[in-house]
Structure 1
Amino acid sequence: GNICIRFQVLGRKNLTEVREFVFLGFSRFRDYQITLFVVFLVLYTLTLAGNAIIVTIICIDRHLHTPMYFFLSILASSETVYTLVTIPRMLSGLLAQDQPISIAGCSTQMFFFVALAINNCFLLTAMGYDRYVAICNPLRYTVLMSKRACAQLLCGTSGIGLVMAVVQVTSIFTLPFCHRVVGHFFCDILPVLKLSCIDTTINEIINFVVSSCVILVPVALVFISYVLIISTILKIPSAQGRKKAFATCASHLTVVVVHYGCASIAYLKPKSEDSAEQDVLLSVTYTIITPLLNPVVYSLRNKEVKEALRRAVGRNI
């Protein structure tokens, strides 16, 4: 009995001692941290600048005041906030090790990260639906993609992200924590789960179900949209018409493949394949590379955006 009481007291002491976490970050690559800082800072600056340019161009150029570019501007804004949640702290961690974060701060970071990541997944789905309507139902486009319909789609994507984030964060931060070193550079779901004192099987199942829903459902919807789009494009008699129709989808399709591909590898891979080094490097792709891809693809591969940039530059000159 005395042994049990002593164990319980020690257990409570251990549970209450963890008031903050420390990120392991890129400490495994200690010899390259300054190089990594410079590379990530340049990529982050390009991401912010690219997304800012896209949002500005869409706002000032009336030719881009269409549902497709409305969703693109929202995606660019969301990607900007998404990177602000994780990258500045990651950069500071590369310069100064062992920077603590409170449990409240960690839960806040995870909430915004999850909410924005899920929001972006469903925004890409809404953009796929927009392309489907434009190509398969062009005569009804103005009705099906009215301002009200766009607002409803935007509210739906944001609402799903917020609800799923509340579920994820609540299920994790009601757990007791015995360890304080997060094997990552931000408060991602699985690295934080590993810090718990108790069995987290139920939480891992919740995470897998949520991840599956927010990745596989949008992927399925986008896939169906593009099956219908391609079947419609193939019926266009002229080669020039087919090329023009597909060109309007190429940028979106490129972003979709990379975005959902990285998300699937990161969150749907078997647990047996977990590796701390691989997870950190993979996280770089969906926290830094993927947000940079959005402005790059839509700037270089989208004819209307390039023409709007030329008009804007011409006016300024």
Structure 2
Amino acid sequence: MCKGNQTEVTHFLLLGFQGLHELKILLFLVFLLVYIFIIFGNILIIVLVGDGDHLKIPMFVFLQHLATADVLLTTTVVPLMLNIIILNEKSISIRDCITQMHFIFTFGFVQCFFIAIMSFDRCLAIFNLMHYTSIMRPQICFRLIGGSWVLVVFISTEIILVGQLRFCGLNNIDHFFCDFGPTVELATSDTSLLLQVDLVVSVFMVFFPFAFTVLTYAIILFTILNMSSNSGRRKAFSTCSSHLTTVCAYYGTLITVSLNSAKQTSNNLNKFSSLLYIVVTPLLNPIIYSLRNHEIKRTLQISFRLFKINN
């Protein structure tokens, strides 16, 4: 029960980008174009890997699922954000808010696992090339992918605990989506258990994959440095350069967001830093693999030639 004259909250009010209303048309157009590029670029990778027989190798199968997670994460947030930009604010029910939060957690966490799996794949390809094909069999790849999705979906059900909280009085969320921190801060009931669970989940779902990724790249670097020929070093580095760029972009944005949150910077700065992993990283991944990966570039060139011939 809510105390005194406080009313129980059934809807939250997402405030969006306060103080930037005069720029809302420009923001809307920029984010709409970025969203279109994200969807087009990632779906292009999904289709290319699905149709190209020579791309049906573990690295590109994992990339296909990473691109799928990018599309789903961005679609969970950006359409609502565009709506908020035009309307200046948006009312959302607690149930819908928790649902969005669950999807953001799921698609964000599964990216950490896919990036870790891709780093393991690159480590095997360089450190243990002789046994690579026998280890990374199609069955193993699909078990790793399926296991990641199932595990992340299951653990993300921690969001159910948010539904047990009571919200009374204030209902304004100064953000463009239902972010965990600003939402839980509005709760009038005890949040200590939820925060403890969230810390454990974050360590398991973010820190462990990150530590594993760093460890695998330490092994990769050690292996490359101990190669006798310069051509062998260049070839080995080229096999993981695209993924290493993705790792730096993804975890670089997460670290930036975490530092801004820890410093308790302005709300608008926190919002724009959140855009780094929601918009910027999904936008960069197709660009990175299109420009730096020879197989993807070759498949794109073949596809364009076939398109011209057929038209």
TM-score (normalizing by structure 1): 0.91
Give the whole-Å Cα distance in 2 for the aligned partners of 1:205 and 1:268: 20
1:150 to 104, 122, 141: 141
Q: Is the 8 A contact 1:215 1:263 kept in 2?
A: no
Q: Is the 8 A contact 1:212 1:268 kept in 2?
A: no
SS at match of 1:51: helix
Give the whole-Å Cα distance in 1 for the aligned partners of 2:86 and 2:260: 31
Find the counterpart in structure 2 of residue 312 from structure 1.
303
Find the counterpart in structure 2 of residue 138 from structure 1.
129
C-alpha deviations, 1:240-266, integer Å up to 9, x for none?
Answer: 221111011111111111211222332
SS at match of 1:21: strand
TM-score (normalizing by structure 2): 0.93
- 2:166 equivalent to 1:176: yes
The residue type paired with residue 14 of structure 1 is Q
For structure 2, the 5+ residue unaligned runs are none
C-alpha deviations, 1:66-101, integer Å up to 9, x for none?
Answer: 010000011111111111101001001111133211
SS at match of 1:27: coil
Q: 1:174 to 1:284 in 2, by over 3 A?
A: same
Find the counterpart in structure 2 of residue 64 from structure 1.
55
Deviation at 1:162, TM superposition (A): 1.1
Deviation at 1:49, TM superposition (A): 0.7
Q: 1:98 to 1:171 in 2, by over 3 A?
A: same
1:88 to 79, 90, 101: 79
Q: Which runs of 4+ in 1 moved over 3 A?
A: 12-15, 267-272
Q: 1:182 to 1:73 in 2, by over 3 A?
A: same
The residue type paired with residue 163 of structure 2 is F
SS at match of 1:22: strand
Stretch of structure 1 that moved more, 42-51 or 270-279: 270-279
Give the whole-Å Cα distance in 2 for the aligned partners of 1:272 and 1:234: 38
Q: Is the 8 A contact 2:21 2:88 kept in 1?
A: no
Find the counterpart in structure 1 of residue 252 from structure 2.
261
The residue type paired with residue 173 of structure 1 is G
Deviation at 1:267, TM superposition (A): 4.0
Deviation at 1:54, TM superposition (A): 0.9
Give the whole-Å Cα distance in 2 for the aligned partners of 1:258 and 1:37: 24
1:120-131 alignment, distance < 5 Å: 120-131=111-122
The residue type paired with residue 212 of structure 1 is V
Deviation at 1:299, TM superposition (A): 0.6
Give the whole-Å Cα distance in 2 for the aligned partners of 1:55 and 1:304: 14
- 2:167 equivalent to 1:165: no
Find the counterpart in structure 1 of residue 6 from structure 2.
14
Q: 1:154 to 1:312 in 2, by over 3 A?
A: same
Give the whole-Å Cα distance in 2 for the aligned partners of 1:256 and 1:63: 24
- 2:23 equivalent to 1:32: yes
Give the whole-Å Cα distance in 2 for the aligned partners of 1:269 and 1:214: 20
1:153-302 alignment, distance < 5 Å: 153-167=144-158, 169-178=159-168, 179-267=170-258, 271=262, 273-302=264-293
Deviation at 1:52, TM superposition (A): 1.2
Percent of pairs with identical residues = 34
Deviation at 1:226, TM superposition (A): 0.9
The residue type paired with residue 102 of structure 1 is S
Deviation at 1:116, TM superposition (A): 0.7
For structure 1, the 5+ residue unaligned runs are 1-7
C-alpha deviations, 1:254-309, integer Å up to 9, x for none?
Answer: 11112112223324766452531221111111111111011010111111110111
Give the whole-Å Cα distance in 1 for the aligned partners of 2:147 and 2:293: 27
- 2:105 equivalent to 1:114: yes
Q: 1:78 to 1:100 in 2, by over 3 A?
A: same
SS at match of 2:167: coil
Q: 1:118 to 1:186 in 2, by over 3 A?
A: same
Aligned length: 307
The residue type paired with residue 6 of structure 2 is N
Q: State the Cα RMSD in Å.
A: 1.8
Deviation at 1:13, TM superposition (A): 6.6
SS at match of 1:245: helix
SS at match of 1:273: coil
Give the whole-Å Cα distance in 2 for the aligned partners of 1:28 and 1:206: 35
Q: Is the 8 A contact 2:24 2:86 kept in 1?
A: yes
Give the whole-Å Cα distance in 1 for the aligned partners of 2:194 and 2:259: 15
SS at match of 1:241: helix
